[in-house]
């Protein structure tokens, strides 16, 4: 998607390329940046550092035309770092998509009301109009990080929540779990129910709970930890955390669901892909946040 943002661009910090033939943006960037990894290029897109004809582009499969000018901003734009604990990846009159840091609450609790993504974004939209408001569509745990979305009207909130499983095409997570997962890939299906103590319990039969389906694939492992790519068919509360416990490999740092270690000093859970149909325009949007370096570093240890 292209987002028009009026801001000055420091051309001395940019590299420029002219497109000679029709091409997808990702393929073009890979060819022009042979020493840069695919994840690093995705990071440039996510953090709004790629421009096509002086307009920010974040969609990896954006089609380039001959004569287009592609530029790479070496410094992250101010919009990406304006707020502590989150970065705005995309915003229009209907939705806001952000990248949340671990340690920031999604919404308020009895103990904390201001240090939340919800509070920060409400302040953000009210800078434009005091009557503006944001609405929760889904959540990320405080100690998890990654991509999440908010609505800017009750109507959009209700539509996204009621059509969530149909509208969300791809929702993937990077997950670090305890132990070495031997099975390279698998699917976990169970029914989840919440206890009075607010703990989700998993059952392998339909007992009236919410059906939850989680797919996982091993990306990397050592004797102590495994990095998984997890894809959800359903979005239930604590679904990944419960299902990782079900297969005997709790997420690192997740004491609530059986973890005995916390090498990252946070939850080993990162929402790195959110792809969905825009609730108003029906345009397909895809946002990616790279796997945290600390996850990769942990798996590199012996």
Report pLDDT digits (tens) over 272-290.
999 999 999 888 888 989 8
Name the helix (H) or strand (E) containing 269: strand 269-277
- Token representation of residue 193: 């129910």
Mean pLDDT of the chain: 86
My answer on whether 121 and 45 are in the same domain is no
Nearest CA to 46 out of 292, 297, 253, 251 is that of 292
Give the pLDDT band (50/70/90) at residue 5: very low
My answer on whether 223 and 114 are in the same domain is yes
What percentage of the chain has pLDDT greater than the value 90? 57
CATH of the domain at 201: 3.30.2350.10
My answer on whether 72 and 86 are in the same domain is no
Report pLDDT digits (tens) over 11-23.
435 688 999 999 9
Give the pLDDT band (50/70/90) at residue 10: very low
CATH of the domain at 47: 3.10.290.10
Could you tell me which residues are beta bridge partners of residue 276?
Answer: 168, 285
**207-232 per-residue burial string, b: 16 or more CB within 10 A, e: under 16:** eebeebebbbebbebeeebbbbbbbb
Strands 23-24 and 145-151: unpaired
Q: In the prediction, which pLDDT does 74 show?
A: 65
What percentage of the chain has pLDDT greater than the value 70? 89
Name the helix (H) or strand (E) containing 213: strand 210-221
Q: What is the mean pLDDT of residues 90-108?
A: 90
- Between 302 and 103, residue with greater pLDDT: 103
- Token representation of residue 157: 């909130």
Q: What is the mean pLDDT of residues 85-98?
A: 90
Residue 205 neighbours by CB distance under 10 Å: 7
Q: What is the mean pLDDT of residues 63-78?
A: 78
Residue 242 Cα distances to 32, 86, 177, 216, 258, angstroms:
43, 26, 12, 13, 9
Which of 78, 95, 125 marks a domain boundary?
Answer: 78
Q: Which domain holds residue 17?
A: 2-78
My answer on whether 125 and 48 are in the same domain is no
141 catalytically annotated: yes
Q: Please tell me the total count of domains within the chain.
A: 2
Q: Is the pLDDT of residue 51 over 80?
A: yes
- Between 12 and 129, residue with greater pLDDT: 129
Q: What is the mean pLDDT of residues 61-69?
A: 89
Which of 53, 78, 103 marks a domain boundary?
Answer: 78
Of 9-13, 84-88, 218-222, 256-260, where does mean pLDDT reach its minimum? 9-13
Give the pLDDT band (50/70/90) at residue 82: low
My answer on whether 201 and 52 are in the same domain is no
My answer on whether 131 and 277 are in the same domain is yes
Q: In the prediction, which pLDDT does 198 show?
A: 85
Instruction: Exactly one of 141, 143, 246, 254 is catalytic; name it.
Output: 141
Q: In the prediction, which pLDDT does 111 show?
A: 64
Report pLDDT digits (tens) over 160-212.
999 988 899 999 999 999 999 999 999 999 999 988 888 999 999 998 899 99
| 121 vs 135: CA distance, rounded Å | 10
Report pLDDT digits (tens) over 21-38.
999 999 999 999 888 877
My answer on whether 160 and 193 are in the same domain is yes
Q: Is the pLDDT of residue 88 over 70?
A: yes
My answer on whether 133 and 71 are in the same domain is no
Question: 241: which DSSP letter?
Answer: H
Q: In the prediction, which pLDDT does 76 show?
A: 53
Residue 296 neighbours by CB distance under 10 Å: 16
**Long-range contacts of residues 202-205, Cβ cutoff 8 Å, at least 24 apart:** 202/242, 202/243, 202/245, 202/246
My answer on whether 68 and 25 are in the same domain is yes
Q: In the prediction, which pLDDT does 291 show?
A: 92
My answer on whether 59 and 39 are in the same domain is yes
Q: In the prediction, which pLDDT does 79 show?
A: 47
Q: In the prediction, which pLDDT does 4 show?
A: 37
């Amino acid at each position: 998607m292209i987002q028009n943002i009026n801001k000055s661009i420091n051309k001395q910090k940019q590299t420029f390329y002219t497109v000679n033939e029709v091409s997808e943006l990702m393929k073009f960037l890979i060819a022009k940046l042979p020493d840069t990894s695919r994840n690093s290029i995705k990071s440039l897109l996510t953090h709004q550092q790629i421009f096509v004809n002086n307009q920010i582009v974040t969609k990896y499969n954006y089609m380039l035309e001959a004569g287009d000018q592609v530029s790479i901003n070496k410094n992250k734009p101010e919009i990406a770092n304006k707020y502590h604990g989150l970065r705005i990846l995309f915003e229009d009159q209907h939705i806001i998509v952000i990248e949340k840091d671990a340690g920031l609450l999604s919404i308020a609790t009895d103990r904390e009301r201001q240090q939340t993504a919800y509070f920060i974004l409400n302040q953000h939209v009210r800078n434009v109009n005091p009557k503006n408001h944001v609405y929760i569509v889904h959540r990320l745990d405080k100690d998890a990080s990654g991509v999440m979305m908010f609505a800017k009207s009750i109507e959009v909130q209700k539509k996204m929540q009621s059509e969530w499983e149909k509208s969300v095409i791809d929702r993937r997570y990077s997950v670090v779990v305890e132990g070495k997962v031997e099975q390279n890939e698998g699917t976990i299906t169970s029914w989840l129910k919440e206890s009075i103590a607010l703990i989700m319990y998993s059952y392998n039969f339909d007992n009236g709970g919410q059906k939850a389906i989680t797919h996982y694939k091993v990306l990397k492992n050592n004797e102590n930890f495994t990095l998984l790519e997890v894809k959800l068919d359903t979005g239930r509360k604590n679904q990944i955390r419960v299902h990782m416990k079900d297969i005997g490999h709790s997420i690192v740092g997740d004491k609530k669901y059986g973890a005995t270690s916390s090498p990252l000093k946070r939850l080993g859970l990162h929402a790195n892909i959110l792809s969905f149909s825009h609730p108003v325009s029906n345009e397909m949007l895809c946002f990616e946040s790279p796997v945290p370096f600390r996850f990769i570093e942990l798996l590199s240890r012996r």
